[in-house]
Chains A and B, each alone.
Chain A
Amino acid sequence: MDFSYDSEQTALRDAVKGLVGKAYADYEHRRQTAKDDPGFDEKVWTQMAEMGLLGLPFSEDDGGVGAGPIEIGIVCRELGRVLAPEPFLSSVVYAGGLVSAVGTPEQRQEILGALSSGESVLAFAHDEPGHRWTASAVDVTADAQGALTGVKDGVLHGARADVMVVSAALPDGGTGLFVVTDGGGEREGYSTYDGGRAARITFDATPATPLGEAGVDVTSSIATIQDITRIMAANQALGAMQFQLKATVDYLKSRKQFGVTLNNFQALNFRAADMYTSQELTHSLVDWATMVVDGGSPEAVSDAAARVGLQVSRAGRHIGQEAIQLHGGIAMTAEYNVGTYTSHLTVLDHLLGDAGHHIRALDDKLTSYAAIDPLDVAAKA
């Protein structure tokens, strides 16, 4: 039982902080980066590769570093803290996680090797219009030859991606994963409201290669990688919330109205205290869920992902909304950073399921146990 980082983890955190914290120390740089395609700083991406961050989760055989979930969580948290737009979560954790889980040894070496070295950006094309946060593909289908047809939307960094992992309904049932390269599919890229990038991708008998063994239903693998991505997104959201609370506290201490700084008003201070409570409760759950990934069974990880997802949805809205309110009008502007953090928290909230979605998942097994024992989850793993 230990909630603290060891010396190597602390060193990793400081290194990531040093890299992205320096790159985005001036918020204007983040703003400009988000304005121009591809929506992130290719130089920072290369530096992340050089530091070994892009291969962090993957085995050394696949060109990666073989680090665990704690380390990946550290990277996500620091990226969230400075609102770094680099697609670590969508490319490395999510799409890379799928290749690592499902790909053949050759595919893993080729795709993850190129991802780790910064040569290629990966995307996972999964969400379909009209479907909410499922692990299956429905309307995008694969034919017997593996050619794909249908529409994916909200594909993070889908336009820039060099390699795309695509989910599709298999001819004999179930969901398979496919690799699309060479700009396959008709891609309409767009900006998301937090300055990120996504794409709508139309496949029309687009040639694709099966990821892993052809014709195998990999729905449960997709579900597990989604759960891990949820937990890493929660780390990213926590970093953003921690920044917002700090910025809000600093603002209350410096901004003057009625001739005094705002922290003279108890009504405002108490709201900041409630933000702190939300932040700390979230911090505990995020750390716990991240530790559950470390050796936890898929069921334990799924449970932890829903629980941390619910907490982050609630806390992200609370802290994100209050950060704007306590700042006042300035936080409504794009020039000032605090409001954009709220935008980003809103993206994370809807990326892989909001509070209602997680409540439904948890409700399914509500009566199967008496009380939750957070340590027992570890024991079962």
Chain B
Amino acid sequence: MQLALSEEDQAFREEMRTYFTTEISEEIRTTVAEGRELTKEQIVQSMQELNKGGLAVPHWPEEWGGRGWSELQRHIWHEEMQAASVPVPLAFNASMIGPVIAQFGTQEQKEEFLPKTANLDIWWSQGFSEPDAGSDLAGLRTTAVQDGDDWIVNGQKTWTTLGQYGDWIFTLVRTDPEVKKQAGISMLLIDMKSEGLEVRPIELIDGGHEVNEVWFTDVRVPVGNMVGEVNSGWTQAKFLLGNERVGVAPVGATKRVLAKAKEAAAATIAEDPLFRARIVELENELLALELTALRVAAHSAGGEPHPASSVLKLKGTELQQAVSELVVDLGGPATLASGEGDATLDWYRRSTPTYLNLRKASIYGGSNEIQRQIISRGILGL
């Protein structure tokens, strides 16, 4: 057992810090630090600035831009990025469909999509959830029926985050309704400019437009856009949902918000021991979480994930939510103006929308009840 980073990892950490604080637009980092919303252009720009230095998709196969890092190095990369207020690479591209195409795609698909996916020249949307298929994803009903060289897609996807920016959407569709539900699913890549595809905004409780419904009416998709074999989509889906061990707990970003709260509310905190006690507890829980993430990352031998990785999403989202709640409470009456007017003015004006928005964190990516199911069944054998 040894706490200190090796010299090599220490140097790696410095290299990451330097890159993030010198090569990524300061305006973008300030926007993140102040909790303001990023524009599409800013998200694209920062990912391209990362990609330029080979830091957008380091976990991909080396042939396609990966770096062959250890899990610990990936952890350091991810934490330093958040600490420097750099937006993490767009998850739909970097963490979701990129690795799936690299693993299951044809050579043509890899060449066509992977470089543009890494550089965010293509903005991917996710078409998994449906109105009747949330946690029970395999219950999805959007169909694809083959007609010559095309699949014809009909149905509806929902909760498509930032779908209004999407160029392409990766979808799970039902290609065989007669078999066990997991065995009749395929993965299709669909151009969002296709005829019959419509994106409809969903207004959320935070007042923002972050997610969408995506409707498919006789959308024709070339057969060459299927990833993997027909009816093998569940394999790709499980790979996509399960391959992200590093970075599932947004520790760095939550730490940064808490540090900012201490600074911004210094006067309130100085007078109020109850707030201080809350902050002490949150900092301690975040420390325990960060150390658990490190423990998981340092345990890279063998390839099997450390069982403790299962607590990262559960606890990480709980703390992310708890810190956002603290910020609203620190703001007190100042937060009533939340969402009004020029949001660049006042940190507290953005606090309640953020708090409300983050209720999603314990729902998406496998709700926290699903996480408890994974722990009790998969880890504890109950």
Given A290-B1, A363-B277, A366-B280, verify A284-B380 contact (CB < 8 Å): no
A1–B4 contact, CB under 8 A? yes
Given A1-B294, A310-B284, verify A280-B311 contact (CB < 8 Å): yes
From the candidates B5, B258, B270, B273, name the one contacting A375 in the complex (CB within 8 A): B5
Q: Does B193 contact A (CB under 8 A)?
A: no
Give chain A residues whose Cβ lies under 8 Å from the Cβ of B290: 374
Chain B positions 3 through 34: 1 when the CB is less than 8 Å from some CB of chain A, otherwise 0: 11110010000000000000000000000000
B380–A273 contact, CB under 8 A? yes
A276–B291 contact, CB under 8 A? no
B283–A372 contact, CB under 8 A? yes
A126 to B259, CA, bound (A): 38
Give chain A residues whose Cβ lies under 8 Å from the Cβ of B116: none
Which segment of B121-129, B194-202, B371-379 sits at the interface?
Answer: B371-379
Q: Does B133 contact A (CB under 8 A)?
A: no
From the candidates B9, B273, B288, name the one contacting A282 in the complex (CB within 8 A): B288
B382–A252 contact, CB under 8 A? yes
A367–B259 contact, CB under 8 A? no
What's the minimum C-beta distance from A153 to chain B, rounded to whole angstroms? 29
Interface centre among A249, A274, A372, A378 (most CB of B within 10 A): A372
Give chain B residues whose Cβ lies under 8 Å from the Cβ of A283: 292, 295, 308
Chain B contacts with A in 266-289, Cβ cutoff 8 A? 266, 269-270, 273, 276-277, 279-281, 283-289
A273–B375 contact, CB under 8 A? yes
A1 to B295, CA, bound (A): 9
Q: Does A269 contact B (CB under 8 A)?
A: yes
Q: Does B2 contact A (CB under 8 A)?
A: yes
B299–A4 contact, CB under 8 A? yes
Chain A contacts with B in 213-258, Cβ cutoff 8 A? 249, 252-253
A359–B277 contact, CB under 8 A? yes
A149 to B307, CA, bound (A): 54
Q: Does B314 contact A (CB under 8 A)?
A: yes
Given A276-B311, A291-B3, verify A362-B284 contact (CB < 8 Å): yes
Give chain A residues whose Cβ lies under 8 Å from the Cβ of B276: 363, 366
Q: Does B381 contact A (CB under 8 A)?
A: yes
A252 to B369, CA, bound (A): 19
Chain A positions 260 through 281: 1 when the CB is less than 8 Å from some CB of chain B, otherwise 0: 0001001001101110110011
B1–A3 contact, CB under 8 A? yes
From the candidates A3, A359, A371, A378, name the one contacting B280 in the complex (CB within 8 A): A359
Interface SS of chain A: helix, strand, loop or mixed? helix
A281–B292 contact, CB under 8 A? yes
Q: Does B304 contact A (CB under 8 A)?
A: no
Q: Does B262 contact A (CB under 8 A)?
A: yes
Q: Does A36 contact B (CB under 8 A)?
A: no
Task: Give the residue name and chain of the A residue nearest to B377 (CB).
Answer: A269
A371 to B4, CA, bound (A): 18
A288–B291 contact, CB under 8 A? yes
From the candidates A280, A370, A372, name the one contacting B308 in the complex (CB within 8 A): A280
Task: Give the residue name and chain of the A residue nearest to B6 (CB).
Answer: A1
Give chain B residues whose Cβ lies under 8 Å from the Cβ of A106: none
What's the minimum C-beta distance from B243 to chain A, rounded to whole angstroms? 21
From the candidates B286, B289, B375, B381, name the one contacting A253 in the complex (CB within 8 A): B381
Q: Does A292 contact B (CB under 8 A)?
A: yes
From the candidates B6, B266, B283, B308, name the one contacting A284 in the complex (CB within 8 A): B308
A363 to B288, CA, bound (A): 17
A70 to B3, CA, bound (A): 11
Give chain A residues whose Cβ lies under 8 Å from the Cβ of B83: 371
Q: Does B255 contact A (CB under 8 A)?
A: yes
Give chain B residues whose Cβ lies under 8 Å from the Cβ of A292: 3
A307–B284 contact, CB under 8 A? yes
A367–B1 contact, CB under 8 A? no
Chain B positions 130 through 168: 1 when the CB is less than 8 Å from some CB of chain A, otherwise 0: 000000000000000000000000000000000000000
A2 to B294, CA, bound (A): 9
Give chain B residues whose Cβ lies under 8 Å from the Cβ of A370: 259, 262-263
Q: Does A287 contact B (CB under 8 A)?
A: yes
What's the minimum C-beta distance from A294 to chain B, rounded to whole angstroms? 7
A377 to B4, CA, bound (A): 9
A274 to B311, CA, bound (A): 9
Chain A positions 345 through 381: 1 when the CB is less than 8 Å from some CB of chain B, otherwise 0: 0000000000000010011001100111011011100
Task: Give the residue name and chain of the A residue nearest to B290 (CB).
Answer: A374
Interface centre among B4, B373, B376 (most CB of A within 10 A): B376
B382–A269 contact, CB under 8 A? yes
Q: Does A5 contact B (CB under 8 A)?
A: yes
A1 to B299, CA, bound (A): 10
A272–B382 contact, CB under 8 A? yes
Q: Does B256 contact A (CB under 8 A)?
A: yes
A281 to B2, CA, bound (A): 18
Chain A contacts with B in 280-312, Cβ cutoff 8 A? 280-285, 287-288, 290-292, 294, 307, 310-311
A3–B294 contact, CB under 8 A? yes
Task: Give the residue name and chain of the A residue nearest to B287 (CB).
Answer: A372
A4 to B375, CA, bound (A): 22
Give chain B residues whose Cβ lies under 8 Å from the Cβ of A253: 381-382
Known: A274-B372, A282-B288. 18 other contacts (CB 8 A): A4-B1, A4-B298, A249-B380, A253-B382, A272-B376, A277-B315, A285-B291, A287-B295, A294-B3, A307-B284, A310-B284, A362-B284, A366-B279, A370-B259, A371-B83, A374-B3, A374-B290, A374-B294
- Give 18 CB contacts A-B under 8 Å: A1-B5, A1-B72, A1-B294, A2-B2, A3-B1, A70-B1, A249-B382, A263-B382, A277-B315, A284-B308, A291-B1, A291-B2, A292-B3, A311-B285, A367-B266, A371-B259, A372-B283, A372-B287
B→A interface (CB under 8 Å): 1-6, 9, 72, 83, 255-256, 258-259, 262-263, 266, 269-270, 273, 276-277, 279-281, 283-292, 294-295, 298-299, 307-308, 311, 314-315, 369, 371-373, 375-377, 379-382
A→B interface (CB under 8 Å): 1-6, 9, 70, 249, 252-253, 263, 266, 269-270, 272-274, 276-277, 280-285, 287-288, 290-292, 294, 307, 310-311, 359, 362-363, 366-367, 370-372, 374-375, 377-379
